[in-house]
Amino acid sequence: MHQKLIAFNLKQRKSPSASELKIGDVVKVFRKIKEGSKERLQSFQGTIIAIKGGQSSSKTITVRKISFGIGVELILPLSSPQIEKIEFVKHTRARRAKLYFVRNKSIKVLSKKLKEVAGKYGDLANTETEDAVSPESAE
């Protein structure tokens, strides 16, 4: 029975990209905002500090950003129809499962705590140094 429930929940998940999100990632979330009869997209860029509901179909993420010196958090269910897309910005290495401690830290301290990681996330892995000498220019 338990395995059937897990299989059902896995089928109900909205997108496979949601499973690639990790704690510490900086993401840009595009939400649909309805104002009267008009509908527009609003972006919210911040760091993922918590992911809850790992096995369920209603997984939620908590995204935090600093806006004009005030911390703003947004709790988003990933299966919500209001979320248009989640765009990955960069990956940082976090050594904890939940980053609730960032609420009490300054931005300067956090930049030392969360290190940017180059790896499987395309743009960060393709950075080249300008000091590298090509074989053609060495002659």
User: What pLDDT is recorded for position 123?
Assistant: 43
Degrees to nearest 5, angle at CA 53 with 52 and 55: 140
| Helix/strand/coil for 77 | strand
pLDDT tens sequence for the chain (139 residues)? 788 887 877 776 655 455 578 888 899 999 999 999 999 999 999 999 999 987 776 789 999 998 888 889 999 988 888 898 899 888 888 888 888 888 887 666 666 666 666 554 444 333 333 344 434 444 4
User: Which tokens is 98 given?
Assistant: 């939940």
CATH class of 2-124: mainly beta
- Delimit the domains of the chain by residue range: 2-124
- Residue 122 confidence (pLDDT): 44
Q: End-to-end CA distance of the chain, in Å? A: 69
* Residue-level pLDDT at 111: 65
Which of 63, 132, 123 has its CA nearest to residue 91?
Answer: 123
DSSP H stretches of helix in the chain = 2-12, 107-113
